[in-house]
Amino acid sequence: MAHSHHEHDYLPAMGRDRLLPLYDPFTWLLGAPRVHRRLVELAAIEPGHRVLEIGCGTGNLALRAHRMHPDAELVGIDPDPLALARARRKAERAGRPVRFDQGKAGELPYPDESVDRVLSAFMFHHLDDAEKHRALAEIRRVLRPGGQLHLVDIAGHHGGGFRHRMARSEYLRDNAGEGIPDRMREAGLTDVRTGERGRLRTTFYRASRS
């Protein structure tokens, strides 16, 4: 899920379609499996929950969530058809009944109050400010009362030179400091919490729908 690219109105995994085969090994080297596992743990998914991953890419987080919670219903959404095709092949090979839909965070094709948990990993910083607001409004719309958003991303709760580099980036600066929690509250989400800070400048966030 991302800002514009000359070939698409979204950013493909790894930036270009032809680099998609490198996406999984690259994210593995960066430690994504550990981050995904922790995000799923924090989400406290229960049997029967409907869980939506936004910006699912090649499906790694959604598939891990189903491995950890096989009694939950997992759905991933992403605008990239090539990444989705890879995600579906993985699910079929693993025998995991995870559904992958094509769509964008700001236009979710799901009914109001139909989801118990929304997960997002390293997608939010690809959205510009208007897209962030649309995505969070849509997340609030599809969450059931008491449902939760669990998000991990590159964020500005890290000091030093990294924060200054974020401030120079059109997309990353929106994540600096309280940028993500503030936008969650503006969207009408409640009980907004900034949680653990991990390696690779990541921060975990949680918000609820009342």
Domain limits of the chain?
A: 17-208
pLDDT band at 83 (very low <50, low <70, confident <90, very high): very high
CB-based contact 180:171 (threshold 8 Å): no
Amino acid 179: pLDDT:
86
User: Which tokens hold the place of 174?
Assistant: 């929106």
Amino acid 42: pLDDT:
98
Amino acid 197: pLDDT:
80
Residue 32 above 90 pLDDT?
A: no
Greater pLDDT, 121 or 16: 121
Residue 166 above 60 pLDDT?
A: no
DSSP single-letter state for residue 66: H
CA distance 1 to 77: 9
CA distance 132 to 89: 30
Nearest to 203 by CA among 150, 160, 165, 166: 150
Provide the percentage of residues in the chain whose pLDDT is more than 90. 66
Nearest to 127 by CA among 187, 55, 194: 55
CA distance 149 to 92: 27
pTM: 0.83
CATH 3.40.50.150 is the classification of domain 17-208: yes
**How far from 185 is each of 3, 25, 137, 190, 196, CA to CA, in Å?**
23, 35, 10, 6, 19
